[in-house]
A and B are shown apart, each in its own frame.
Chain A
Amino acid sequence: MKKRQLGALLLAGVMTVLSLSGCGAMPSTGNQAEESTNTAESDSPAEAAEDKAEAVGKTEGSDEKITLRIVDWSDGSAQRREEFHKKYMEEHPNITIEYTMLTVDQFKNTIVTMIKSGDGPDIFPIPGGMTLKTAVEEGWYQPINSFVTEDFADQFDPRSFEEGVTHIGDDWYTITEQMPVIQCLFFYNKDVLEQAGVTEIPTTYSEFREACRKITENGNGSVYGLIDGGKQVNRMDVLVRSLAAAAGGKVAAITKVLTVDGRAPYDTDEMKQAMGFLKGLVDDGSIHPDTVNISAPEAREMFAQGQAGFLCQGMWCISPWGEGYPDLNYGVMAVPVPDGVTDTYVQGGELSPWIGVYKQSKHPKEAAEYLMALFSEEYGYQSGCVEDGAFVSVIPAINEKYMTNEIMKEYYTIATETSKIVPTITSRDEKANDFYVEVKDIQPSLGAIVQGIFSQSITDFDGQLKTLADSSTEEWKRACEAVGMDYGSLEFPNWDAKKDYTEQDYEELK
């Protein structure tokens, strides 16, 4: 009997181990991946492209049925994408498009498995946290130069090309989805503000708190000052970084690393001011109580339903509101600043790599043709998205013609006026790519601390910020040392947060 009980317990334990370890198990090991990288590296990109072109040449002109597999996470323009696919398949009857849209997290763990098993989609984006250099070294992408027409690149805004983001040397690997625009401006519901007697759009912390207080009081438990997707730590991270930058602090954009005076700038006065501002809103009872439980899209919906006066999100809200809430009477405003603070700027949007063609794709030419169509005016995807207010296209001609949405124009204007380009370590030192592979995430992050404030789990945030700053500094030093990068490269002594950081500024540091 005792043996049986022991056996049952052991079995229970083993089953728990198996179930949990199954979460972390992947079908291949690092060594195998290394082998595949070596194989991938055996051909130069140009040679690989030639091989592909040759292979494509064999099928050209034939009626061979081709299936293009595309995986990404662009939910903000999903409907336009579907329309585009329908039109594309009508005009290319031999091509079937298999499009899979995942969440960012799902994409991250799915794409690695697909690639490791040699069954990657023909077109897919780079998952967050990975640099283009690393992805290319891993044999994920191939250059598209030889598959696209010569004039294709000419239509793009030159600012949408960047070494290490879209290109490596002369090789063009990825196309960015949209022009970088800051992801953190405040939308306000004009009707809610009017009902609460808020006549002036707030610009400072105290004005904002006062407006939120009025809205909450007037709302009587149904309407609150501010709502946001507090369940998404990344959104909270963006919010507090933007507030700190608007307070005059020097903080890198989300997922990026910079030091100020040799330290991770997480316990600076400006960061404390930003956290204090958020805590003040909590103390006033002005934060919608569901904020901690909901994601950004849910917050977007509840804002549109009139449950809050303000929402801090990006341009992507405009298109869904246009469809789902055509009568929504709203406007957009800049990030509030501490009282008496002027001439400060938030972190400008950074160019990020998006989709490219899989190195092992059997149909690179067709994949490149798909990309050309996706970025053309003819197929209506870019123009439709710009018209809807989903994003600012990387094709300036399309923006000029189709940027008719007034709110979008307002958003773009405020975003341009209130943000400045922040330096990035990858633009300064190539070893920074290795640094980002090596560095470990420190938790609780800024976003998690904001979540703690919203849920009233943290009352004294100073200690949390200090711990985060100390641990991050220590970890960044370790990561720099591990990859042979000078820790000083994380510091930009000539950075003036009131000005765009330019190529010339990088040159000065050499």
Chain B
Amino acid sequence: MQKLQVASGKGTDSEKRKRKDKLVMNAWCWLFMALAVGFYILFQGYPIICSIQYSLLDWSGMTGYAEYVGLANYKELLHDELFWNAFFNSFKYTALIVPLELAVSLFLAYMLNNEKLKGSSIYRTMYFVPVVTTTSVVGIIMIFILGVQGPVNHLLTSLHISGQPVNFLGNAKYALPTLVVISLWKDCGTYMIYWLAGLQSVPKDVYEAATVDGANRRQTFFRIVLPLITPVGGIIAILCAINSLKVFDIVKTMTEGGPFYATDVIATYVYRSAFSSEIGMPRLGYASAAALFFGGAVIIIGLVLNGIKGRLSKSL
């Protein structure tokens, strides 16, 4: 009995020590996170709380006069055709660019992950250069490259691929796909790096085993590598989708949402509502409501899709 008591006493001490260690560990974690959390609260948390407040106001953002209007801004959004146009354009853009971005960047990453490829670091840098180039500069240059008298049209007409110059940005049919192609070129370097990280996490012996089993490079990729890096791909897809849903700079620089709202996405719609107006004052409150509504819709759509996916996988 005495022995048992001693044993249990020891157990308590060890638990106490473990608990203490855990507390110390947690304290260190919080300490290291404090700066990031502080910045998050300051630059993300506070603005979003302000946005929620502003979305309930009829306020230009320029004067001190702001009237509480409850959910009127949200109600107005529901009947605003231009908001819905921007809303669907954002999803159209995302639906076009995410698969392309994932496929092209994975292809590049897989090519560059080949150890036998000489000068792969030069290629990596080359593909990454557009990422570090300022979007506004890319936009301005692309306007001229894709212009009616630009080199792309010159090539198309001189090779008789097209009889007439193609108005890539001035025609409502082509403007959004053109933006998608430019964004793809500009951003695929980032996703290529993510894929490379995923590919490099695949153990070498897996490749060796596949080679021993007689698998060629294509089979190795589709049967061995792709299943192994799919979880990384999921994260990359989420990041890519988030970035494309909030696309702004390339649209603002190249088309300003035009021609006639053909490339107007939520971010340009929000910007226009918040900061510019032709008659009267801008509408910061309304713009805040649009941003929050869109964000909320994205969460709901995501949850619904996730639910459908869960049911489908169960039934299969």
Asked if A13 and B259 make an inter-chain contact with CB atoms under 8 angstroms apart, the answer reads no
Among A33-41, A347-355, A366-374, A499-507, the stretch in contact with B: A33-41
Among B30-38, B55-63, B116-124, the stretch in contact with A: B55-63
- B residues within 8 A CB of A37? 64
CB distance from B82 to the nearest CB of A (A): 6
Asked if B295 and A17 make an inter-chain contact with CB atoms under 8 angstroms apart, the answer reads yes
CB distance from A393 to the nearest CB of B (A): 28
CB distance from A236 to the nearest CB of B (A): 10
Residue A458 CB within 8 A of the other chain: yes
Determine the distance from Cα of A458 to Cα of B172 in the docked complex, in whole angstroms. Answer: 10
Of the residues B52, B241, B255, B260, contact of A457 by C-beta under 8 Å? B260
- B residues within 8 A CB of A32? 64
Interface residues on chain A, size class: 35 or more
Asked if A457 and B259 make an inter-chain contact with CB atoms under 8 angstroms apart, the answer reads yes
Asked if B298 and A452 make an inter-chain contact with CB atoms under 8 angstroms apart, the answer reads no
CB distance from B280 to the nearest CB of A (A): 4
Residue A509 CB within 8 A of the other chain: no
Asked if B279 and A257 make an inter-chain contact with CB atoms under 8 angstroms apart, the answer reads yes
- A residues within 8 A CB of B259? 230, 292-293, 451-452, 454-455, 457
Determine the distance from Cα of A32 to Cα of B241 in the docked complex, in whole angstroms. Answer: 37
CB distance from B156 to the nearest CB of A (A): 13
Determine the distance from Cα of A6 to Cα of B303 in the docked complex, in whole angstroms. Answer: 7
Residue A199 CB within 8 A of the other chain: no
Of the residues B147, B169, B170, B299, contact of A14 by C-beta under 8 Å? B299
Asked if A290 and B148 make an inter-chain contact with CB atoms under 8 angstroms apart, the answer reads yes
How many B residues have CB within 8 A of the partner chain? 74
Residue A108 CB within 8 A of the other chain: yes
Of the residues B65, B171, B295, contact of A16 by C-beta under 8 Å? B295
Among A310-318, A398-406, A432-440, A488-496, the stretch in contact with B: A432-440
Residue B238 CB within 8 A of the other chain: yes
Asked if B63 and A33 make an inter-chain contact with CB atoms under 8 angstroms apart, the answer reads yes
- A residues within 8 A CB of B277? 129, 441
Asked if B64 and A33 make an inter-chain contact with CB atoms under 8 angstroms apart, the answer reads yes
Of the residues A23, A231, A293, contact of B291 by C-beta under 8 Å? A23
Known contacts A16-B295, A109-B275, A451-B258; is-contact A291 B54 (Cβ 8 Å): no
Which residue of chain A has its CB nearest to the CB of B245?
A16
Asked if B255 and A293 make an inter-chain contact with CB atoms under 8 angstroms apart, the answer reads yes
Asked if B50 and A12 make an inter-chain contact with CB atoms under 8 angstroms apart, the answer reads no
Residue A320 CB within 8 A of the other chain: no
**Most chain A CB within a 10 A radius of its CB, from B48, B82, B245:** B48
Asked if B66 and A31 make an inter-chain contact with CB atoms under 8 angstroms apart, the answer reads yes
Of the residues B66, B254, B291, contact of A17 by C-beta under 8 Å? B291
Residue A76 CB within 8 A of the other chain: no
Asked if B278 and A21 make an inter-chain contact with CB atoms under 8 angstroms apart, the answer reads no
- B residues within 8 A CB of A288? 148
Of the residues B62, B245, B255, B274, contact of A24 by C-beta under 8 Å? B274
Which residue of chain A has its CB nearest to the CB of B271?
A23
Residue B97 CB within 8 A of the other chain: no
Asked if B65 and A24 make an inter-chain contact with CB atoms under 8 angstroms apart, the answer reads no
- B residues within 8 A CB of A444? 82, 260-261
- A residues within 8 A CB of B298? 12-13, 16-17
Asked if A17 and B64 make an inter-chain contact with CB atoms under 8 angstroms apart, the answer reads no
- B residues within 8 A CB of A29? 50, 53-54, 66
- A residues within 8 A CB of B43? 22
Interface residues of A in 445-483 (CB under 8 A from B): 445, 447-448, 451-452, 454-458, 479
Contact digits for A353-381, partner B, Cβ 8 Å, 1 yes 0 no: 00000000000000000000000000000
Determine the distance from Cα of A195 to Cα of B275 in the docked complex, in whole angstroms. Answer: 45
Which residue of chain A has its CB nearest to the CB of B310?
A2
Asked if A455 and B170 make an inter-chain contact with CB atoms under 8 angstroms apart, the answer reads yes
Asked if A20 and B270 make an inter-chain contact with CB atoms under 8 angstroms apart, the answer reads yes
Asked if A455 and B242 make an inter-chain contact with CB atoms under 8 angstroms apart, the answer reads no
Asked if B310 and A20 make an inter-chain contact with CB atoms under 8 angstroms apart, the answer reads no
Among B6-14, B101-109, B185-193, B282-290, the stretch in contact with A: B282-290
Asked if B61 and A26 make an inter-chain contact with CB atoms under 8 angstroms apart, the answer reads yes
Determine the distance from Cα of A105 to Cα of B253 in the docked complex, in whole angstroms. Answer: 13
**Most chain A CB within a 10 A radius of its CB, from B52, B261, B280:** B280
Known contacts A23-B274, A455-B172; is-contact A440 B283 (Cβ 8 Å): yes
Interface residues of B in 242-276 (CB under 8 A from A): 242, 245-246, 248, 254-256, 258-262, 266-267, 270-271, 274-276
Asked if A439 and B50 make an inter-chain contact with CB atoms under 8 angstroms apart, the answer reads no
CB distance from A355 to the nearest CB of B (A): 17
Determine the distance from Cα of A298 to Cα of B47 in the docked complex, in whole angstroms. Answer: 36
Which residue of chain A has its CB nearest to the CB of B57?
A30
Of the residues B48, B59, B65, contact of A21 by C-beta under 8 Å? B48
CB distance from A97 to the nearest CB of B (A): 26
Residue A138 CB within 8 A of the other chain: yes
Asked if A436 and B270 make an inter-chain contact with CB atoms under 8 angstroms apart, the answer reads no
Asked if B295 and A451 make an inter-chain contact with CB atoms under 8 angstroms apart, the answer reads no
**Most chain A CB within a 10 A radius of its CB, from B167, B172, B270, B275:** B275
Interface residues of B in 16-55 (CB under 8 A from A): 43-44, 46-48, 50-54
CB distance from B100 to the nearest CB of A (A): 19
Determine the distance from Cα of A458 to Cα of B256 in the docked complex, in whole angstroms. Answer: 18
Asked if B279 and A22 make an inter-chain contact with CB atoms under 8 angstroms apart, the answer reads no
- B residues within 8 A CB of A442? 279
Determine the distance from Cα of A290 to Cα of B46 in the docked complex, in whole angstroms. Answer: 43
Asked if B170 and A438 make an inter-chain contact with CB atoms under 8 angstroms apart, the answer reads no
- B residues within 8 A CB of A448? 260-261
Residue B215 CB within 8 A of the other chain: no
- A residues within 8 A CB of B200? none
- B residues within 8 A CB of A127? 62
CB distance from A101 to the nearest CB of B (A): 16
**Most chain B CB within a 10 A radius of its CB, from A24, A29, A105, A232:** A24
Asked if B170 and A291 make an inter-chain contact with CB atoms under 8 angstroms apart, the answer reads yes
Asked if B260 and A455 make an inter-chain contact with CB atoms under 8 angstroms apart, the answer reads yes
Residue A46 CB within 8 A of the other chain: no
Determine the distance from Cα of A441 to Cα of B149 in the docked complex, in whole angstroms. Answer: 36
Residue B195 CB within 8 A of the other chain: no
The 7 closest A-B pairs by CB, nearest first: A17-B295, A30-B66, A13-B299, A455-B259, A25-B47, A33-B64, A452-B260
Residues of A within 8 A of B (CB): 2, 5-6, 8-10, 12-27, 29-37, 105, 108-109, 112, 127, 129-130, 134, 137-138, 221-222, 230-234, 237, 254-257, 288-294, 298, 307, 436-445, 447-448, 451-452, 454-458, 479
Pairs A–B under 8 Å by Cβ, sample size 19: A12-B242, A13-B303, A16-B299, A20-B266, A21-B288, A23-B291, A24-B270, A24-B291, A25-B50, A30-B64, A34-B65, A109-B274, A230-B259, A232-B256, A290-B148, A441-B279, A441-B283, A444-B260, A451-B260
Known: A289-B148, A293-B147, A445-B278. 13 other contacts (CB 8 A): A9-B306, A20-B270, A21-B48, A21-B51, A21-B288, A29-B50, A30-B63, A37-B64, A138-B63, A293-B167, A440-B283, A447-B278, A457-B262
